[in-house]
Amino acid sequence: MVTEFHLPKVAEGGGTGTVARVLVSPGKEISSGATVVEVETEKTVVEVPSSVGGVVKDVFVKPGDEVSDDSVIFTVETAEEATGSTAPGPTMLEPERPETAPEEAPVSGAAERAPEPETPATNPQTLSAQTPSTAARPQSEAAVPAGGRLVVPAAPSVRRLARELGVEIKDVPGTGSEGRISQDDVKAYAKSLVSGASARGALAALTLPDFSRFGPIERHPISPVRRATAEHLGRSWPLVPQVTQYDEADVTALEAFRRRFGPSVEAQGGKLTVTAILVKVLAWALGVYPKFNTSLDLERGELVQKGYRHIGVAVDTERGLLVPVLRDADKKSLVQISVELKAIAERARAAKLSREEMEGGSISISNLGGIGGVGFSPIVNAPEVAILGVSRTQVRPVFEGDALARREFLPLALSYDHRVIDGAEAARFLRKVAEALEEPLLMSLEG
């Protein structure tokens, strides 16, 4: 019998991904549990194992294809059980929908009862996007229950635009006949979310000119990692009032320390980098200034104080920027941090990070010193309230008495959420970090 293999959920909350590699081909025999496809999601590459065994008949995807939960990846011929019982018949491939076909979204209690209509007044974001004619439109006209599923009247091209803008198509009020949703409706709804500083923060797209009028162009698809980065930072910038505080630390003694003990750390499997030292320093500084280890919950009107100190570290990869999180840095030695940081950076560049390894940070570090530059303003990695930017160490002559001495200075930039952190607090925090880099024993002295 022929059985279809459907893509399981590859990311928390579901969604789409891009096929990175296909490891099966027609005629190939596979066993249950074998990796059959690799899917690149927003944060990582997921190896998908097969839940069926047999001989592959047809493969329906190729590298670069966008897939979603439950997409049919391939079919496989399996033998019926010896007892004569048969497995459930194959799920028929859904025929390609015409451009005018509506999208269906699951509704709770599909078979037993029709969904209860939403009360528009409970969603201020939707109300802000509705026109007087659409705000009062009954849901039965905009989204009609059919066969236990919610039918959203929108063409595939409109749904594709909604996905690109990070908009839930079912939330968009349609202005067309019988509530049909157009591309203009999606753009207007996305724009209203941004202008209203929505916490969901879907982004309006910038209308571009036809660049081909000016000369030859090429178009390249955006990777899921780059798309996720753009959406996340695009939400953070307009929603979080950010200020950057600058300082520098005299790290002449610290660099001598790194040169002296670096080989010992490397022998234990780590690398004594400035970033590793900053992870330790920031974890300590969060204990001195706990407000920097919080997140703002505007919906509840509360400030969430975290009882842990997890440090996110930005890693530059071929797929885009990833920020794995080193947990409980305050409880680990500098050698442990160096070893763990090296390992987690290698997993990031190999696309082997799990979603859990990139969640739950207290504060983040972005170190561009290895590339160059004299300073930059990093964007706060919301819902964190601060991020530390580090640039290349600079060597300068400094007067010590009447004589000139060679000193090394590390440029520091602290961007912070001004809703939570005041300027004076940010200046004190950054100065404390600089002092700890200049006098490492300060951490032991102050605890």
Q: Indicate which residues carry an active-site annotation.
A: 418
Residue 19: Cβ within 10 Å count: 20
Query: How far is the C-alpha of 197 from the C-alpha of 417, rounded, in Å?
Result: 15
| Angle CA 308–313–319, to nearest 5 | 135
Per DSSP, the three-state class of 193 is helix
Q: Return the SS3 of 242.
A: strand
Question: How far is Cα of residue 371 from the mean position of the Cα atoms in its chain?
Answer: 24
Is 235 in contact with 273 (CB distance < 8 Å)? no
What CA–CA distance (Å, rounded) separates 66 from 39? 9
* Burial class, 368, CB count within 10 angstroms (exposed 0-12 / middle 13-18 / buried 19+): middle
For 318, what's the count of Cα atoms within 13 Å in the CB-facing half-sphere?
7
Contact partners, residue 299, CB within 8 Å, separation at least 6: 199
